[in-house]
Structure 1
């Protein structure tokens, strides 16, 4: 490949990505302000949800920020929410997908269908898991009730775990209620730069790969029109980093993966919350059960959406 052609690919990817910076920054500042105002209320609502946990987790998890998955993981490792509530949060959260989509106004129309789809999956998945684990959940629900009533075991320390950091050292601590310029301004700046780098990297890699191997070979590499694509993308979504959700979103926006596959990947993408689970969950067997359930529900939902929903819609609309 000629150097001039390679430079053109680089320049096109850089230009397209740079156009997204202003909107990304505005979106992240807006998210930050909402978190500053309501994060403690959201945390307390999820924590006190009890049997309503999956419904509340599905709704709160859909808010486009990474902090709720961190909070949910922290609460779960302290058994202050049920396993179904944790999975509902994971399944409904989209990590960085919504800001990335909104930063491209032409694609903004897919945000609402995407969020609704994921909330429905989170509701069904969360309640199904809680039903399957109803015996073990009895102990968790009793613990939640005792904690809420102030009868908790004095040796349980639930506060230190809530000091876990989200991405870019963003604080999720219940004590961060005072206005903090670093959180409100500097974090969105850092986050915008970080996401811009991810977007540019993915855009350049896709354009370079297509130029090198051709569009047909590139599509085969990503299993286009294959029944295995939702499973592969869901597996990729388990990477505990916001780069995973950015890459999955960009692949979808560029037509590389199908709608069912982007749903599978983003449902599995718990982001930094998965890191907290891996770090803090003492029962490692239970940790693997959570990850397996997350992957299984995400992949199954993506597969159903990709291969069964279109046939159902055609049947009812004909």
Structure 2
């Protein structure tokens, strides 16, 4: 009986997850083509943005996958973007959240509010950080200006960024080379398979837990609407792997975590960006400061949104 019970959950999770494969693959091929066509232009805009960096970083960072966070991390280590620009990219990045949502047509309506929310957080967070660090950013802005005008130190090798890899080993700047079928076709297939495994695993685990515990008990497992939930989800989002954003998105779509907690978790889910920053940035104190700022802004944003959705909006509805 128990075996049949587990098999039913397994089969249902496998079937539901398999239905997402075509849309996931289409999404990833589309993302790859856009990266191939515009990656260098986007990178150029970010590294020459200067004081306007947080705005451009917030917009470009919202593009799906962690490639932009990897690029921003290397640019920061080369002092071609400000601290606020780096954080704006990080905060607007959602890693795998958008493709996962796109693979479930009934949930597509939440994409625009999600992106707008994260872009606003990235703008406020990025410009606030640049204002606070305005003195230390002066040297960086001078360097960015010199680079943009072509008068940078000839010994500065900024093209190292072309050697960096994002998820599944694909280039962070695919438009720097000739059309590569491996990048455009093979990588989306590999990435789709990888994300499918994550989705299936989480879906099976969630379905099994709900069947065993009941829906309410399952939600309580994630602290329900507790004030601790955004903090814990943001902490989970710091895991430098696309599995984190997949899990957070799946938990939200299953109703296990709140919108505020989801935003907090996805704001810290920058994929491999943090690993690249830790590797490339010589000043480890700077890495720690950026990590704390990323976590702090994400948690604060999550709590504010949590309050708006749980406290303010219900009261507003009653008033109206």
> TM exceeds 0.5?
yes
Question: Residues of 1 paired with 2:254 and 2:311: CA distance?
Answer: 25
Question: Residues of 2 paired with 1:15 and 1:212: CA distance?
Answer: 20
The corresponding residue for 1:76 is 76
Which one is further off, 206-215 or 1-10? 206-215
The corresponding residue for 1:276 is 276
Question: Residues of 1 paired with 2:19 and 2:66: CA distance?
Answer: 23
Question: Residues of 2 paired with 1:57 and 1:197: CA distance?
Answer: 31
Question: Residues of 1 paired with 2:240 and 2:134: CA distance?
Answer: 28
Shift in Å at residue 247 of structure 1?
0.5
Shift in Å at residue 207 of structure 1?
1.3
Measured at CA, do residues 81 and 248 of structure 1 come closer, stay the same or move farther in structure 2, by a change above 3 Å? same
Query: Structure 2: which 5+ runs fail to align?
Result: none
Question: Residues of 2 paired with 1:160 and 1:71: CA distance?
Answer: 10
Question: Residues of 1 paired with 2:21 and 2:99: CA distance?
Answer: 11
Secondary structure of 1:178's match? coil
- Is the 2:71–2:161 Cα contact (8 Å) retained in structure 1? no
Question: Residues of 2 paired with 1:131 and 1:113: CA distance?
Answer: 27
- Is the 1:260–1:302 Cα contact (8 Å) retained in structure 2? yes
The corresponding residue for 1:145 is 145
Measured at CA, do residues 93 and 16 of structure 1 come closer, stay the same or move farther in structure 2, by a change above 3 Å? same
- What TM-score do the two structures reach when normalised by structure 2? 0.96
Instruction: Indicate whether 1:216 and 2:252 are aligned.
Output: no
Instruction: Indicate whether 1:303 and 2:303 are aligned.
Output: yes
The corresponding residue for 1:229 is 229
The corresponding residue for 2:31 is 31
Question: Residues of 2 paired with 1:77 and 1:256: CA distance?
Answer: 38
The corresponding residue for 2:91 is 91
Deviations 1:133-189 (A, max 9, x none): 000000110111122223323332222243110001110137633111001100100
Shift in Å at residue 67 of structure 1?
1.1
- Is the 2:9–2:208 Cα contact (8 Å) retained in structure 1? yes
Secondary structure of 1:150's match? coil
The corresponding residue for 1:177 is 177
Question: Residues of 2 paired with 1:310 and 1:82: CA distance?
Answer: 35
Question: Residues of 2 paired with 1:11 and 1:49: CA distance?
Answer: 50
- Is the 1:74–1:162 Cα contact (8 Å) retained in structure 2? no
How many residues are matched? 318
- Is the 2:38–2:175 Cα contact (8 Å) retained in structure 1? no
Shift in Å at residue 312 of structure 1?
3.9
Mapping of 1:240-279 within 5 angstroms?
240-279=240-279
Shift in Å at residue 277 of structure 1?
0.7
Query: Structure 1: which 5+ runs fail to align?
Result: none
Question: Residues of 1 paired with 2:228 and 2:300: CA distance?
Answer: 11
- What TM-score do the two structures reach when normalised by structure 1? 0.96
Deviations 1:242-291 (A, max 9, x none): 11000000000000001001100001111111111121111111101101
Instruction: Indicate whether 1:163 and 2:159 are aligned.
Output: no
Secondary structure of 2:79's match? coil
- Is the 2:263–2:301 Cα contact (8 Å) retained in structure 1? yes
The corresponding residue for 1:49 is 49
The corresponding residue for 1:105 is 105
What RMSD, in angstroms, separates the aligned Cα atoms of the two structures? Answer: 1.5
